Every structure is written in C-alpha cells, then in structure tokens.
C-alpha cells in the first residue's frame, strides 16, 4: 500500500532523542521512515506529535484525539509507541497502564487508519536488581502489547528482533535513548516490516569495543549520574517532566521532506 500520510505518536523515542539535530529538531527514526514514504509520493504528508517525557495516559488523551482527526482511511499510517516512561517510574501501576494501552490502540484502529505498534527491548546490559526489575516489568508490558495486537488489526514490530539496539554501540551518553546509528537501524527495521525499500545491513553488529580502563569507566559512570540520573530524580521529586512546556515538532500535516 502507498501511504499518503504518516502520523507518529509517543514520547522521546518517537520524537527522535538523541539523533542528529536538523533545523533545531531531533531527526529520529520516524522522520527517517517518512523520508522513504515520501519518495515518489507527491501527496504525502507527515505529522509527529510525540513529546519527550510523556506518560501513556498523556499520549492517549492528548495525541490520539488530534491524530484521528487527520485519518483518511487505511492509507494513513499511525505509529503508537508509548508506556515506557510509565514502566520506568517507581510508582508504576500496570493495572492502570495496561488497560490504558489497549484503550489507545482501540481508538486508533477504530479510526480506520493502519496502525503499527511496538514491543520494547526488555533486556539491558549488566546484571543486578535494576536489570532484573527492568526485564520483569517490560516483559509483562510486552505480553500485554502482544495480547492487544491479537485483538485489534495492527502491525506489530517485535523488539526481540533488534535487541542489539539496546547496547552501548547504539545508545547515546544518557544510556536510555538511541544515538543516530540506533535511529537509523530502527527506521530500516520498520521499513522492512512495511515491505518498503530498506538497508539490509541494519542487522549488522558493530565491532567489539576495547575494554575501558577501570578509571575511565568509573569517570564515565560518575558523569552519567551527574548529568542524567540526578536531574531525573530531581524532576521526579518536583513532579516535573522533561516534556513540560514542549509542543510537538510537527503538529500539523506537512509536506515531506519539509525542505
């Protein structure tokens, strides 16, 4: 199918953090997918309503109502990737988040659009209580996504097919968001799943890096805590989000590429 519109919904991952910056905005995997969707498609338009830090309920209540107003049948493609910020919160309540996720997918599919959803990589490098908690929470979250995919007409992208994207080579310094190479690989994974031209090398594993010295590793960990962990904790204590005051980068259908 030739899609005439692509609407991307979600949080920082879909906004594009921490890809290269173009015209003051993160590029991101969704913009890269839009590049291919727009090829030889003069009627194609693109929206990206994703905003960093947004919780699942905010995406469902704020972004979905806007998106469905711009649906023009199955030739409108909508990506829905939300919930990871909820799972990461200390007070995460799956009994609330999991039904909220299904509610969002139901609304999107009832709009008549073609809807694609994603499971997430549920494993992280390292061991310990944090890694085990991450795996436990995200595994359950993924099980819910697969259940929802079985109930509603969606395109499901499995994170397990690209677990390597959650390793150091494809993550930015904050150890949470993908770097430019990670966004590029994910975009090609999505294009492959959509049956569109893609770079078959997206699965190629990077060269193994030389082990860091203990001093360099400790300094890197300290910098990470100071630059990312402590500010994150401070925002949580104040009930703030990195997305407060931010608006979507493409809140209206625009011709793409925008240039």
Supply the pLDDT for residue 79: 98
Average pLDDT, the chain: 87
Distance of CA 46 to the CA centre of its chain: 17
Task: Give just the sign of the alpha carbon dihedral 187, 34, 52, 151.
Answer: negative
- How large is the average pLDDT for residues 23-48? 95
Q: Is the confidence at residue 257, as pLDDT, over 90?
A: no
Q: Rounded CA gap, 212 and 230, in Å?
A: 24
Give the H/E segment covering residue 230: helix 230-238
Query: Could you report the per-residue pLDDT of 112-135, keeping only the tens digit for each?
Result: 999 999 998 876 655 666 667 778
Mean pLDDT of 14-24: 92
Domains annotated on the chain, with CATH: 5-208+248-255 (3.40.50.1110)
pLDDT at 23 > cutoff 60: yes
The predicted-structure confidence for 218-230, as pLDDT tens digits, reads as follows 666 656 565 666 6
* Burial of 42 (C-beta count, 10 Å sphere; 0-12/13-18/19+): exposed
User: pLDDT tens digit string along 160-196?
Assistant: 888 888 788 888 777 678 999 999 999 999 999 999 9
Encode pLDDT of 102-112 as tens digits: 999 999 999 99
């Amino acid at each position: 199918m030739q899609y005439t519109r692509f609407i991307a919904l979600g949080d920082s991952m879909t906004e594009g953090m921490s890809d290269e910056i173009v015209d003051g905005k993160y590029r991101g995997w969704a913009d890269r997918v839009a590049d291919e969707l727009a090829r030889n498609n003069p009627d194609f338009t693109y929206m990206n309503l994703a905003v960093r830090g947004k919780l699942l309920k905010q995406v469902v209540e704020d972004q979905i109502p806007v998106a469905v107003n711009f649906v023009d049948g199955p030739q409108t493609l909508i990506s829905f990737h939300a919930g990871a910020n909820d799972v990461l919160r200390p007070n995460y309540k799956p009994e609330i988040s999991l039904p909220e996720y299904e509610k969002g997918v139901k609304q999107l599919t009832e709009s008549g659009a073609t809807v694609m959803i994603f499971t997430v990589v549920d494993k992280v490098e390292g061991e310990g209580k944090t890694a085990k908690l991450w795996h436990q929470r995200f595994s359950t979250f993924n099980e819910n996504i697969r259940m929802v995919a079985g109930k509603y007409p969606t395109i499901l992208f499995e994170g397990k097919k690209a677990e390597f994207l959650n390793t150091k080579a494809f993550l930015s310094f904050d150890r949470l968001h993908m770097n430019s190479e990670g966004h590029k690989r994910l975009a090609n994974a999505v294009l492959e799943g959509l049956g569109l031209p893609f770079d078959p090398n997206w699965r190629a594993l990077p060269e193994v890096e030389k082990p860091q010295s203990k001093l360099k590793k400790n300094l890197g960990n300290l910098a990470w805590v100071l630059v990312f962990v402590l500010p994150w904790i401070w925002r949580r204590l104040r009930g703030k989000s990195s997305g407060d005051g931010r608006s979507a980068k493409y809140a209206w259908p625009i011709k793409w590429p925008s240039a």
